[in-house]
Amino acid sequence: MNIFIDSKISDDDRRKELYRGSIFFHRSCVNAEKLCQLARDLIAESFGSLDPRKVQESMSAEKSAEILSVLKPKFIHHPKAKEYIQGMLTELGCDLQKTYFDVPRMRTAFPGDYLKSGIAYAFHPHRDTWYSAPFCQINWWMPIYPISPENCMAIHPRYWYQPLRNGSSGYNYHQWNLESRQNAAQHVKTDTRIQPKPEEPVELDPQFRLICEPGALYQFSAAQLHSTVPNSTDLTRYSIDFRTVHLDDVWTRTGAPNIDSACTGTTMGDYLNGMDLSGLPAEAIALYQDGTECQYGSSANDPKKVAGVRN
């Protein structure tokens, strides 16, 4: 696996590398800083005088879940968040005419067992491609506050080449939107929603834990196996992630290899054009549809989405 640091290669070449399992790390850029500041402002507004990284010390998990269920959608759909992502993509060499992104998610990982389900789901090892993401999807990840190796995200490179028995065949994105997503905040102690999980022991090591400062970020393919590192610190981790697809790759079905994903449905209806926020051309989306979008009703770009869990 190759790790590129502040690489200036073209986005076309970068995507080729990402589809081969490479990771791209980028130092802080102006718009990523702005996005993190927006997130910090909204977080501070939500928790009042409390230190947002220590709310678990003085607030019930139920109350935190309630606050997050308002905070997260507010961030996800904030017009400034889209503007900063557009700026960030430009700064990092993406062609906005052909790059499509989905709205950014805010994630939280609380220490210990405080709140690990529903709105603050602690992700088991998974590939986003088990969750109906296309193989050309690229994930972008950044911390909102400083992180440490005990409080971050991990990538498990062994499984780039090695298939993992998993439950993705039982997952359909359209069904998930219809039945599960709206209820994320209700799952405080346990999460009963069916998600594609590994169905054999996972060898988590070797693993990469990329530790960077707020404003810095990294990109990886949606086909990489990744997970939430159990937070053994006393500080809550807040992070942002979003995904992109490039129109050329969508048309040509270029992307990472599929070694073990068997889900149905597609997230292709979610991505917004980098220039005008329009969706992908219907004909392009149709290449990825399998009929299940009609069965469950497509919820593409549904403004009601709260995205408690979308991998």
3-state secondary structure of 227: strand
3-state secondary structure of 100: strand
Interface with Fe ion: number of residues (CB under 5 A): 2
Question: Residue 129 has which token pair?
Answer: 């491609």
Query: Could you tell me the smallest distance in angstroms from the CB atom of residue 120 to Fe ion?
Result: 14
Cα 133-135-136 angle, rounded to 5 deg: 105
Query: Could you tell me the smallest distance in angstroms from the CB atom of residue 128 to Fe ion?
Result: 5
Query: Could you tell me the smallest distance in angstroms from the CB atom of residue 45 to Fe ion?
Result: 27
179/174 Cα distance (integer angstroms)? 9
Which residues, 115 to 134, sit near Fe ion by CB under 5 A? 128
Query: Could you tell me the smallest distance in angstroms from the CB atom of residue 54 to Fe ion?
Result: 26
Whichever of 56 and 239 has its CB closer to Fe ion, that residue is 239
Whichever of 100 and 121 has its CB closer to Fe ion, that residue is 121
Whichever of 46 and 221 has its CB closer to Fe ion, that residue is 221
Task: Please list the residues that pair with 273 across neighbouring strands.
Answer: 100
81/68 Cα distance (integer angstroms)? 17
Within the chain, where are the H helices?
A: 11-18, 30-47, 61-76, 79-91, 173-179, 247-252, 282-286, 292-296
Whichever of 98 and 191 has its CB closer to Fe ion, that residue is 191
27/166 Cα distance (integer angstroms)? 35
Query: Could you tell me the smallest distance in angstroms from the CB atom of residue 238 to Fe ion?
Result: 16
Could you tell me the end-to-end alpha-carbon distance of the chain, in angstroms, rounded to an integer?
A: 22
Which residues, 255 to 274, sit near Fe ion by CB under 5 A? none
Q: Do residues 241 and 135 lie in contact, with contact meaning Cβ atoms separated by under 8 Å?
A: no
- Choose which of 129, 244, 266, 311 interacts with Fe ion (CB under 5 A): 311
Which listed range, 161-169, 194-202, 279-287, 303-311, lies at the site for Fe ion (CB under 5 A)? 303-311
DSSP, res 253 = T
E strand intervals along 210-301: 217-221, 226-228, 237-246, 272-273
Query: Could you tell me the smallest distance in angstroms from the CB atom of residue 37 to Fe ion?
Result: 24
Whichever of 172 and 227 has its CB closer to Fe ion, that residue is 227
Whichever of 55 and 222 has its CB closer to Fe ion, that residue is 222
Cα 43-241-23 angle, rounded to 5 deg: 140
3-state secondary structure of 239: strand
Whichever of 273 and 311 has its CB closer to Fe ion, that residue is 311
Query: Could you tell me the smallest distance in angstroms from the CB atom of residue 294 to Fe ion?
Result: 27
Whichever of 82 and 243 has its CB closer to Fe ion, that residue is 243
Reference 309, options 105, 84, 67; nearest CA is 105
Query: Could you tell me the smallest distance in angstroms from the CB atom of residue 123 to Fe ion?
Result: 6
3-state secondary structure of 67: helix
Q: Is 224 in the site for Fe ion (CB under 5 A)?
A: no
Q: Which residue is nearest to Fe ion (CB)?
A: 311
Contact string (CB under 5 A) for Fe ion, positions 164-203, x = contact: ----------------------------------------
- Site for Fe ion, rule CB under 5 A: 128, 311
